[in-house]
Amino acid sequence: MPETVSLDTVDLRILRHLQNNARITNRELAAAVHIAPSTCLDRIRRLRDAGVITGYGVRLDPGSLGRPLQAFLAVRVTPHRRPLVAEFVAHARALPEVRTLFHLAGPDDFLVHVAVPGVADLQRLVLDEFTSRPEVSLVHTNLIFEQWEGPPLLPPGA
């Protein structure tokens, strides 16, 4: 886990703007937070180097890409030991159907968000890629009917 980074009000304003519009130009961002563009660029670089900004990306609609069926797979790995966990994580992350992988505390060890073309593909994925693995002792499948994004991490007035 990364250590907490000390952020001042300018850093928080930069982060608020970036999380709401990562495509904003440096010049527009600098003007919005009332600092020079060179200072803004330096601050963004510092926030990236400190691990506060972890990346920029594009969110894609799985249905538009031929994968309209999404599910969460709750997976148990037995025994729950580091080498088996590492092998499972490497395997799951290499599967193109896997959108997100969470390592959990509690009755299930992993929560795997997957997107597939249809029910037969989900069945194949569960049987051939998860339950067939010797370390996987249980898989519960939950279909996703709909999903919504949460609010920005920083409150608008931060």
Question: Looking at residue 58, what is its pLDDT?
Answer: 86
Question: Looking at residue 155, what is its pLDDT?
Answer: 60
Question: Looking at residue 113, what is its pLDDT?
Answer: 98
Q: Say how far apart CA 19 and CA 41 lie, in whole Å.
A: 16
Tokens standing for residue 12: 């928080």
| Residue ranges, the chain, pLDDT below 70 | 1-3, 155-158
Q: Which residue has the tokens 């010049």?
A: 27
Q: What domains can you pick out in the chain, each with its CATH number?
A: 9-49 (1.10.10.10), 62-144 (3.30.70.920)
Question: Looking at residue 157, what is its pLDDT?
Answer: 58
Question: Looking at residue 1, what is its pLDDT?
Answer: 45
Question: Looking at residue 105, what is its pLDDT?
Answer: 96
Query: Model-level pTM?
Result: 0.81
At CA 13, angle to CA 8 and CA 14, rounded to 5? 100
- The per-residue pLDDT for range 114-144, each reduced to its tens digit, is 999 999 999 999 999 999 999 999 999 999 9
Of 36, 2, 32, which Cα lies nearest the Cα of 14? 32
Question: Looking at residue 156, what is its pLDDT?
Answer: 58
